[in-house]
Structure 1
Amino acid sequence: MATDLKDHGTDHNANAAERVESFAETALKLGGKSEDEARRTGAIDMADDQVEQLFAAQYQTINSPAHRAVWDRGVPTDEFLSTPPKTSPEVQKVMDDSIAVVRRHKQAGTLHNEEGKTREEVLQELAAVGYWGLLVGEEYGGSDCSFSSFAAFLARMATLDGTIAGLASIHGCIGAVDPVKTFGNAAQKQEFLPGLADGSRLSAFALTEPCAGSDLTALRTTAVLDGDDYVVNGEKLFISNVVPGRTIGLVCLIDGKPAVLVVELPTEENENFQLKKYGIHALSRLYNRGIIFNSFRVPARNLLTPTRGDGLTIAYHGLNLGRVALCANAAGTMRQMMADMIPWAHFRVTYSEPIAQRELVQRRLGEMAGLIVGCDALVAWCSDLLDRGYRGEMECIIAKIFGSEALKHAAVELYMKTHGGRSFLHGHAFGDNVHDFLAPCIYEGEGEMLGMAFFKSLVKHHGKTYFEPVGKALAAAGIQRPNPLNPMHAMKLAPVAMPYLKWLIGRKLMWGAAPRLPAMPTNLREHAEYASRKLTATALEIDGAMQKFQLKLADRQCRMAELSGRCQDLITILCASMYAARQEDEVVRASADLLCQKLRQKLTGARPSNKYFKQITTLGAQIADGAFPGLDEIPAGEIQQPYEREAE
């Protein structure tokens, strides 16, 4: 994966520099928030800024496609085209062999142990074929797979088993692999990456605590230097893929600041290390546990020391990989649902007709196809951006939110309702895995909270450039309610307000040129043009909200979430239409067209037309006859509680 990251040495000068307030901290203080809330929010914002500085300027957020789509004078449509991944024969063999391992165990009924968890023997067989080393460099025994190839492969693996696909993401994206690969020094890479690559040290990332979820400033786990070791005390919660003997990236406080230690857990629990076990419905096929450290010693050499930032910087870096992986997993899981729906739709007869011939079932199949193609498009786009060196924060948030909401909707509204009461039988994929279908809405960041993070990234530069100077000038002059008709107010504000007025007038007078698009089918081009026009117009709508609420905007969570959602939907329309235009399969193109229509109905409040219903039921009928690509590779589940059908 091309990173274009600046050097990650062990220089501590940046950490020792005098503390500077972030944009968020300044804005909250000017808006009257408490010192504690402003400081805590500012710490998160500062970590985000420090991650930003790891990337070359052209790949930072303000130059990302999603940001430019709103604030540039024209949408950079060429940046919404993804390059299909090129997978070497060696990497392809690892992928194919991994699929063969999982397929064999699934057919034999040997994937899970007596606790219902993925069997250790399966994990070791995957290790033997190179599964865990896909994202590790060849010099450390891995395959050095591009992230684009890896993400596409996860979607394929998820058609067989979403848990095993998820374990690859936990290990390679948000586990110890990315922190060591990106922030480790030469000695740390040599010490840890070979074991992470060959699967002898599977990994996880220990960030969440009982009191620290979205508020990462509430961390309490500490590490105190004692000779050549750090002594760790504290508790972690909801840590996936943790069993004795594994490797974790541990986020803890060192001298009051977040830091990350690479911790090799003992092979057995002891007085210094215990696992906290609890019942949890989600992620039922892997081990999700708490960890309790009591004077647990970790070699001081295991501390990761980024040139810029701290432990939160390290944590934030890997999250984008995990968010794209989540969307890929959703795409594969929904394919598995679709493959399971079709045999049942042909078997189940109501009023002398198979339900595959009923419009409601056809609509569900057509709608699921659109959600799958939407996920495929976002995964291809985001992973390509990451490979090219972009930070991809905003784009990966879109993928995570769309993928998780699509999976939830597909599971409950399409999959469950088609199978009816049989969905709740033991052994049915819905009943056995429903919490896994819902959990992505929470994991990797709860959807609406992430949507507000997307909005913050979207408005940050605009606010810092135009609104922060005005806020500071008002505070300095002691003006609480500015009145432009007051000569004194006007005089105080003129120097800082003029750049903003110039931007505002220029934007309102901007001539809306048609976006530059490649050759596309007419229906998909119309969607891309619509999204481009609306994205350009969104700048003034967002600016209007910033004008109206000013420094109180941070408290208007509902408005931020609504504006964020609109931007995300428009970007999804643009991405899906341009992705589908480059696909040769007409079913994929039709699926993307119908997804775009559905999103536009949501944005405009328009009711579905008769033409739309005809298109989506026609597509559903084609899918029921096996037209959706790739379904023939997916083993369908058994029809449960079958019955004798009347002779035709």
Structure 2
Amino acid sequence: MTSNIPNPYFLEEHQMLREQVRRFVEKEIVPNGDEWEREGHVPRALMRKMGELGFLGLTHDTDYGGSGLDVRAATVLAEELGRSTFAGVTITALVHTNMASPHLALAGNAEQKQKYLPDIIQGKTITAVCVTEPAAGSDVAGIRTRAVRDGDDWIINGSKIFITNGVYGDLYIVAAKTDPNAKGSRGISMFLVEKGTSGFSVGRSLKKHGWRSSDTAELFFDNVRIPAGNLLGEENKGFYAVMKNFQHERIMLAAMGVGEAQKALDLTIENVKQRQAFGGALFDKDVVRLKLAQAQTQVDAARNYLYYVSWLDAQGVECIKEVSGLKAWACEVANQVMYECVQLHGGMGFMEESIIERMYRDARVLTIGGGATEVMYGEVAKRL
């Protein structure tokens, strides 16, 4: 039950967007999500519909068909998609809108943006960001994929893993080391690689504990030759682009977690009001009401922190400490709330036919992806 108390960080246009996304979720995602879970991917038709409604271009420039809004609009989208209970669908969309395509929007030249952004915003071209490797997850500096200049081309060799939209994507934003002598985070560049490029292949579609309706891939680059013009942004400055984009990625994951946690609580409250035990409804037991009250307070706190941090970012304030703390706190809260919701569902909470069982599985990766909790608190600690 989302609070009706007005918040000072969002505008009327954000509330209108929230209502529009919520209607879309109920009509297009909730009735079909189970089928997409079984199939292991989200259909292109859904992304096209989201594009037609303007959901895929909320923060992109109006020159290319976007809405030109700030991160608060994306926060609304992420939170409401999170309420769908299908986190795989949510992450499919959010990787496209706020984790992959922003690299192009922020660092791309006019020619690159004109070529790709209109179709990205319309949902005709699906994007993926390829940073993670077996030895380079939260530690981006550990990237081993290499790109070597060869005349008017670049040649890429290496591999990536855990890439969302990796199987069914069309345009891949790839991080690779371009200066072999550079230490640590230096010497990384970003590249645009289209599906179908010779030498670029999907190794396998990965089976996951949760987020099952999102496709996740292992990718291989075997002498992948791309034009020099596919360099995205400045050579050897890719690490800074990744770090900058992580800010919005982490806000999106936090928003997603808040939406999921609130929906799980709503479902659990409804469940315990109906379940009869020990001569009455479970909801009437003090211990149950206490657990629900504690969980709701945690979610309310996470939501208000989310809105505050989104507002800070929208004002152009440097807020790495706040974003890092938000990502860690909100995603841990989502997991804690899911744990209690499963507990209060009893045996049914352990059954795969239960919505809450799927949500519990899906929430687990929130504390890992986009920067593990430990890494996030490390970023906070650096700035104490």
In the superposition, the TM-score normalised over structure 2's length comes to: 0.89
1:144 maps to which of 68, 81, 101: 68
Post-superposition shift, 1:245? Answer: 4.5
1:445-464 equivalences under 5 Å are 445-458=371-384
SS at 1:174 equivalent: helix
Residue 389 of structure 1 is matched in structure 2 by 316
1:146-165 equivalences under 5 Å are 146-160=70-84, 161-165=86-90
Answer yes or no: is 1:197 the counterpart of 2:121.
yes
Residue 231 of structure 1 is matched in structure 2 by 155
Post-superposition shift, 1:194? Answer: 1.4
Answer yes or no: is 1:302 the counterpart of 2:230.
yes
**Letter paired with 1:384:** W
Based on CA coordinates, which of the two structures has the bigger radius of gyration?
Answer: 1
Post-superposition shift, 1:387? Answer: 0.9
Residue 353 of structure 2 is matched in structure 1 by 427
SS at 2:26 equivalent: helix
Q: Distance in 1 between matches of 2:269 and 2:361?
A: 23
- Judge conservation of contact 1:98–1:129 (CA < 8 Å) in 2: no
Answer yes or no: is 1:340 the counterpart of 2:263.
no
Kindly indicate which of the two structures has a greater share of residues assigned to strand: 2
Post-superposition shift, 1:167? Answer: 3.0
Please report the RMSD computed on the Cα atoms of aligned residues, expressed in angstroms.
2.3
SS at 2:157 equivalent: strand
Q: Distance in 2 between matches of 1:133 and 1:87?
A: 19
Q: Distance in 2 between matches of 1:252 and 1:87?
A: 42
**Letter paired with 1:259:** S
Residue 260 of structure 1 is matched in structure 2 by 190
2:25 maps to which of 86, 102, 110: 102
**Letter paired with 1:112:** E
Post-superposition shift, 1:385? Answer: 0.9
Q: Distance in 2 between matches of 1:397 and 1:202?
A: 27
Post-superposition shift, 1:278? Answer: 2.9
- Judge conservation of contact 1:233–1:293 (CA < 8 Å) in 2: yes
1:86 maps to which of 7, 11, 27: 11
Q: 1:235 to 1:111 in 2, by over 3 A?
A: same
Gaps of 5+ in 2: 1-6, 181-186
Residue 436 of structure 1 is matched in structure 2 by 362
Residue 280 of structure 1 is matched in structure 2 by 208
Q: Distance in 2 between matches of 1:391 and 1:185?
A: 25
Post-superposition shift, 1:301? Answer: 0.8
Q: Distance in 2 between matches of 1:226 and 1:301?
A: 13
Post-superposition shift, 1:431? Answer: 2.2
* Equivalent pairs, count: 370
Residue 603 of structure 1 is matched in structure 2 by none
1:360 maps to which of 284, 287, 294: 287
Post-superposition shift, 1:420? Answer: 0.9
Q: Distance in 2 between matches of 1:276 and 1:183?
A: 30
Post-superposition shift, 1:364? Answer: 1.8
Residue 289 of structure 1 is matched in structure 2 by 217
| Deviation readout 1:378-418 (Å, 9 max, x if unpaired) | 11111111111122110001110111110111011x20110
- Judge conservation of contact 2:58–2:73 (CA < 8 Å) in 1: no
Q: Distance in 2 between matches of 1:208 and 1:84?
A: 33
Answer yes or no: is 1:217 the counterpart of 2:141.
yes
Answer yes or no: is 1:173 the counterpart of 2:101.
no
Kindly indicate which of the two structures has a greater share of residues assigned to helix: 1
Post-superposition shift, 1:117? Answer: 3.0
| Deviation readout 1:568-607 (Å, 9 max, x if unpaired) | xxxxxxxxxxxxxxxxxxxxxxxxxxxxxxxxxxxxxxxx
- Judge conservation of contact 1:244–1:265 (CA < 8 Å) in 2: no
Answer yes or no: is 1:242 the counterpart of 2:175.
no
2:45 maps to which of 96, 110, 121: 121
Single out whichever of 149-158 and 251-260 deviates more from structure 2: 149-158
Q: Distance in 2 between matches of 1:107 and 1:276?
A: 28
Q: 1:171 to 1:404 in 2, by over 3 A?
A: same
Q: Distance in 2 between matches of 1:248 and 1:366?
A: 44
| Deviation readout 1:608-648 (Å, 9 max, x if unpaired) | xxxxxxxxxxxxxxxxxxxxxxxxxxxxxxxxxxxxxxxxx
- Judge conservation of contact 1:111–1:118 (CA < 8 Å) in 2: no
- Judge conservation of contact 1:87–1:149 (CA < 8 Å) in 2: no
Answer yes or no: is 1:324 the counterpart of 2:251.
yes
Gaps of 5+ in 1: 1-81, 459-648
Answer yes or no: is 1:311 the counterpart of 2:238.
yes
- Judge conservation of contact 2:21–2:77 (CA < 8 Å) in 1: no
- Judge conservation of contact 1:173–1:319 (CA < 8 Å) in 2: no
SS at 2:226 equivalent: strand
**Identity, % of aligned pairs?**
22
